[in-house]
Amino acid sequence: MSLKQNIKQKIKNIVFSVPEHLKKNSIYLDKNKMDEIEQSIRTNFHKGWRSEDKFTPEAYKIDLQDHLINRLEHDRARIIPWLDAAMPLKGKKILEIGCGTGSSTIALAEQGAKVTGIDLDADALKVAEDRKNAYGLDIELKYMNAAEVHKNYPKGSFDFIIFFATIEHMIHEERMIAMKETWDLLNEGGLWIVLETPNRLWYFDGHTSGLPFFQWLPDDLAIKYSKFSPRNELSSVYRKYDAAEQLHFLRRGRGLSYHEFDLCMGDAKKLDIVSSKIAFEKYQLLKLPKTERKFKSFLKGAYPGLHDGFYDKSLDLIIRKK
């Protein structure tokens, strides 16, 4: 490791240092249980359009490790401290919308939170169920559309509602209902969080296509243009352009912007935004590439008055309900 890399790593270790009261709650499994989770991922999750043959060998290895352990470690180091700083997690009732294979769910639950995780991906939920059993945590997992949550829980049911890399996978009608109705499920003073959701206004789509300006395209043009994606798991899939393919494509990920907040929660400029993740992690602001800094400044100049988090390439916001 070069001197420059060593300095960068030391800065990262300081900036992303996990508070001791959180770190001590992390649960680590033995090899046998980790092997069981890996087998569950391979069997239940990596099949169909996500099967191993849809990836390059290196990309599959990365995706497998991400679902096995990397996402959990990332959430422990980068997400949990941010959320806990806004409101201590211990004992809080949390609705996690888009729990996926359960990495973030474990990270929340091991901190003593009472977590309900929902997802529309039945295969991912099978992995999440196996994972929660391996970790021995009391987590409620449900197959449910976020647009239906308000029909299953009364108002004021939760202290946190977290859309974890989820809203971008909803079609327009679902996200509008989900954003509006889940706001009512929060207790007064509760926190509504959007995490790792690509900003529709950003110039490059690093989430779905790996193409510039892709999130700016209308959906019907975007699905046809997806054949130019450098990602084989996207470019090789869509050719019929029928209703089923279009729905599948939309669920791969389409961006979000302040416009939905205006429509669902009132004027986005007046929301009580506690924090954005990039501002909480000040080191990330310092290392933004020049092009990204300039583009963010352009967005702020074009439409001033929003919280800075609405101008980032990813929407990572904590909003308090007054």
Residues near 62 by Cβ (< 8 Å), separated by ≥ 6? none
pLDDT score, position 4? 53
278 — alpha (psi -120 to 50), left (phi > 0) or beta?
A: alpha
Pick 10 or 109 by higher pLDDT: 109
Could you give the percent of the chain with pLDDT greater than 70? 94
The residue written with tokens 């800075």 in the block is 308
Average pLDDT, the chain: 93
pLDDT score, position 3? 56
Using the predicted structure, report yes or no on whether residue 15 has a pLDDT greater than 70. no
Q: pLDDT grade, residue 287 (50/70/90)?
A: confident
Could you give the percent of the chain with pLDDT greater than 90? 87
Cα–Cα dist 128/130, whole Å? 5
In a domain, 6, yes or no: no
Cα–Cα dist 71/107, whole Å? 10
Per the structure, how many domains does the chain have?
1
Residues near 29 by Cβ (< 8 Å), separated by ≥ 6? 37, 134, 135
Residue 106's identity, in one-letter code, is I
The pTM score is 0.88
What integer is the mean pLDDT of 89-102? Answer: 97
In a domain, 151, yes or no: yes
Q: pLDDT grade, residue 14 (50/70/90)?
A: low
Using the predicted structure, report yes or no on whether residue 283 has a pLDDT greater than 70. no
Specify whether the CB–CB gap between 216 and 266 falls below 8 A: no
Spell out the alpha helix ranges (H) of 257-289.
Answer: 258-265, 277-280, 282-286
Using the predicted structure, report yes or no on whether residue 47 has a pLDDT greater than 90. yes
In a domain, 197, yes or no: yes
pLDDT score, position 251? 92
In a domain, 19, yes or no: no
DSSP-derived secondary structure for 66-133: IIIIIHHHHIIIIIHHHHHHHS--TT-EEEEE--TTSHHHHHHHTTT-EEEEEES-HHHHHHHHHHHH
Q: For residue 161, give its domain range.
A: 28-320
pLDDT score, position 188? 92
Instruction: Tell me the CATH number at 172.
Output: 3.40.50.150
